[in-house]
Amino acid sequence: MFNSKIEGFQSYVPLNTVSNEMLEKLVDTSSEWICSRTGILERRITLGENTSNLATEVCNKLLKNANITASEIDLILVATITSDYMMPSTACIVQSNIGANNAVAFDINAACSGFVYALSVADKFIKSGTYKNALVVGSETLSKIVDWTDRGTCVLFGDGAGGVLLSSTTENIGILNEDIHSRGSSWKSLRGGFVPLVNPFLENQEKNKEDCKNDYYLNMNGREVFNFATKTVPSSIQKLLDDAKISVDDIKYIVPHQANYRIIEVVAKKLNTTIDKFYLNLENYGNTSSASIPIALAEMKEKNLLHLGDKIVLTGFGAGLTWGSMLITI
């Protein structure tokens, strides 16, 4: 039996920074409202790089830092809800860009839980002995599905990418346990990117397109999603703690999906811990969906906050509805 060790942490975000003040000029909102309701001060918005470009930068950084060549990579997983194309997968475009000619590459769509889901899938391939390593990336250009006239949502999201290199080990480290769930019955609570049916045999084609137009844009029932997150996330984390027979005090950091500061405050309270147990950087990036956890991890690595033996909990939650937590050691 093998375990997945996390060898490297990298991120790449577009250079273009958009402040709350800049959004005040676009929609009827205020910097104060955005900051107090969400904790977000600024976000990155792409000026041309698509999801595959961001993911490619992350993978090239991971390869460079690990001193491994692209052709040695066995698996490339890209978690995204904003792929360049419906086909091929973003992962295959990345495979081509980096020259990982021996890898298997595919995308995973689990929205804001995507990175945790992708780690889970990669871990199965490694645990089984099928593959010796994997590039696991979360990459999003949410700006292309955000309705820039909707002040309720456009202030929340940003673009970016982050990822890790997993490698097989026989030591008892790396990905230790996971808890992942889906509740498809609530899929309507958070959705976007709808592609309407079009074919010459359809009646009422124009009406059909019109009815569905609004579903292209990212839209959510904020209250429903907020309630879902504050209920499921604490119990998912608690399950991992119980399984490992440890308490929240034994965890160095909880790295949550960076959705909203207020959600994390409630989660902290329910776990009988304080907000400083959580690594948060949503003030600088907003909500980058599947990219938010790996961007946070890369920043923690950069700041020298990740030390050998530290126990870390990752927790993602979002559209699907999906949620998932993972206990890892560095």
Q: Are strands 190-191 and 174-182 parallel, antiparallel or unpaired?
A: unpaired
The question of whether 181 is a catalytic residue gets the answer no
Q: How far is CA 240 from the centre of its chain?
A: 20
Residue 233 within binding range of ligand 4VN, rule CB under 6 A: no
Rounded distance between C-alpha atoms, residue 42 and residue 22, angstroms = 9
Give the footprint of ligand 4VN on residues 170-189 (CB under 6 A): none
Residue 229 within binding range of ligand 4VN, rule CB under 6 A: yes
Q: Which is nearer to ligand 4VN, 82 or 95 (CB)?
A: 82
Q: Are strands 42-44 and 75-79 parallel, antiparallel or unpaired?
A: unpaired
Q: Which is nearer to ligand 4VN, 145 or 225 (CB)?
A: 225
Q: Which is nearer to ligand 4VN, 105 or 110 (CB)?
A: 110
Task: Show the tokens assigned to 228.
Answer: 């879902």
- Which member of 20, 112, 154, 219 is catalytic? 112
Q: Which string of x and - marks every residue 70-109 that binds ligand 4VN (by CB under 6 A)?
A: ----------------------------------------
Residue 156 within binding range of ligand 4VN, rule CB under 6 A: yes
The DSSP secondary structure of 178-198, one letter per residue, reads: EEEEE-GGGGGGEE-------
Question: Smallest distance from the beta carbon of 86 to ligand 4VN, in angstroms?
Answer: 21
- Which member of 92, 257, 260, 284 is catalytic? 257
Question: Smallest distance from the beta carbon of 74 to ligand 4VN, in angstroms?
Answer: 30
Question: Smallest distance from the beta carbon of 141 to ligand 4VN, in angstroms?
Answer: 14
Query: With CB under 6 A as the contact rule, which of the stretches 121-129, 178-186, 258-266, 295-303 interacts with ligand 4VN?
Result: 258-266
Q: How far is CA 310 from CA 114, 235, 251, 295, 328, in A?
A: 23, 22, 7, 18, 8
Question: Smallest distance from the beta carbon of 72 to ligand 4VN, in angstroms?
Answer: 34
The DSSP secondary structure of 62-92, one letter per residue, reads: HHHHHT--GGG--EEEEE-SS-S-SSS-HHH
Rounded distance between C-alpha atoms, residue 327 and residue 255, angstroms = 10
Contact assessment for residue 45 and residue 20, using Cβ atoms and an 8 Å cutoff: no
Residue matched to tokens 């309701």: 37
The question of whether 92 is a catalytic residue gets the answer no
Look up residue 133 and give its amino acid. N
Question: Smallest distance from the beta carbon of 37 to ligand 4VN, in angstroms?
Answer: 4
Q: How far is CA 155 from CA 139, 189, 260, 265, in A?
A: 19, 18, 11, 20
Q: Is the dihedral of CA 174, 179, 185, 188 positive or negative?
A: negative
Query: With CB under 6 A as the contact rule, which of the stretches 16-24, 93-101, 223-231, 235-243 interacts with ligand 4VN?
Result: 223-231
Q: Which string of x and - marks every residue 259-298 that binds ligand 4VN (by CB under 6 A)?
A: xx--x-----------------------x-x---------
Rounded distance between C-alpha atoms, residue 281 and residue 90, angstroms = 26
Query: With CB under 6 A as the contact rule, which of the stretches 7-15, 200-208, 256-264, 270-278 interacts with ligand 4VN?
Result: 256-264
Look up residue 31 and give its amino acid. S
Binding site for ligand 4VN (CB under 6 A): 37-38, 112, 156, 190, 222, 225-226, 229, 259-260, 263, 287, 289, 317-318
- Catalytic positions are 112, 257, 287
